[in-house]
């Protein structure tokens, strides 16, 4: 059994790991534990947190929203943030760290299967609305974004009864990790790296 600590942004991500992702990985001999950073995500804070977690796990990884980061450069990308985290952690941690930043938000993953969103939010109208949003981004949930004001979570809050900590993990659980992986290549690539830790 490989023990992997995941530093996450907040309560929604923590619940998602505990309720959905951790059970998925147990059968793969990987034990995931989520530890919330409590918001206010920035590279310095992340690196300090990872230093604390490193002694308690075989490997560590991260699960933060790109939009959750503060103090970022104008031309920052998810990849550049991941590179900065890896570059700034102590050398002893580098080989045991998989930095991951979700593009653009956790909520983007929830558009992977509009039917599941509609089922959890008890609305056929939500299903159709989510399909339209997904179509606008060529069927790629990880591209759903025009600006921070129209980020996936903002869209959900504006158009549905969505409550982050309650509905987010439930929608993900309803659709299942395999469906999310099928639609979200960045998320899938991260999980592939985590799976490789037991090889």
| pLDDT on residue 148 | 76
| pLDDT on residue 55 | 92
Cα–Cα distance between 119 and 37 in angstroms, integer? 31
Residues 14, 98: one domain?
Answer: yes
Instruction: Using CB atoms within 10 Å of the CB of residue 157, give its burial: 0 to 12 exposed, 13 to 18 middle, 19+ buried.
Output: middle
| pLDDT on residue 147 | 78
Cα–Cα distance between 179 and 143 in angstroms, integer? 16
- Per-residue pLDDT, averaged over 18-36, amounts to 97
Residues 69, 24: one domain?
Answer: yes
Cα–Cα distance between 81 and 72 in angstroms, integer? 8
Residues 9, 98: one domain?
Answer: yes
Cα–Cα distance between 32 and 47 in angstroms, integer? 19
Cα–Cα distance between 60 and 49 in angstroms, integer? 11
| pLDDT on residue 146 | 75
pLDDT of 34 higher than 80: yes
CATH code for the domain in which residue 83 is found? 3.40.50
- Per-residue pLDDT, averaged over 180-191, amounts to 98
Cα–Cα distance between 83 and 22 in angstroms, integer? 25
pLDDT tens track for 50-86: 999 999 999 999 999 998 898 888 899 999 999 999 9
Mean pLDDT computed over every residue of the chain: 95
Residues 43, 99: one domain?
Answer: yes
Residues 20, 63: one domain?
Answer: yes
Range of the domain at 123: 106-177
Residues 48, 85: one domain?
Answer: yes
Residues 14, 84: one domain?
Answer: yes
H/E element, 8: strand 2-8
Residues 34, 76: one domain?
Answer: yes
Query: How many structural domains comprise the chain?
Result: 2
Residues 72, 94: one domain?
Answer: yes
* Terminal-to-terminal C-alpha distance of the chain: 11
pLDDT tens track for 124-149: 999 999 999 999 999 999 999 877 78
């Amino acid at each position: 059994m490989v023990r992997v600590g995941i530093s996450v942004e907040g309560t929604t991500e923590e619940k998602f790991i505990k309720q959905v992702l951790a059970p998925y990985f147990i059968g793969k001999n990987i034990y995931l534990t989520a530890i919330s950073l409590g918001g206010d995500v920035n590279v310095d804070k992340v690196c300090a947190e990872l230093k604390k977690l490193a002694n308690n796990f075989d490997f560590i990884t991260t699960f933060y929203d790109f939009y959750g980061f503060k103090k970022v450069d104008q031309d920052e990308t998810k990849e550049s943030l991941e590179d900065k985290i890896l570059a700034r952690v102590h050398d002893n941690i580098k080989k045991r760290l998989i930095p991951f930043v979700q593009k653009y938000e956790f909520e983007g993953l929830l558009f992977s299967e509009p039917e599941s969103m509609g089922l959890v939010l008890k609305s056929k109208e939500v299903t159709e609305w989510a399909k339209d949003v997904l179509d606008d981004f060529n069927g790629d949930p990880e591209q759903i974004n025009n600006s921070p004001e129209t980020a996936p979570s903002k869209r959900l809050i504006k158009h549905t009864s969505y409550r982050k900590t309650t509905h987010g993990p439930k929608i993900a659980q309803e659709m299942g990790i395999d469906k999310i992986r099928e639609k979200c290549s960045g998320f899938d690539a991260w999980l592939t790296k985590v799976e490789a830790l037991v090889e």
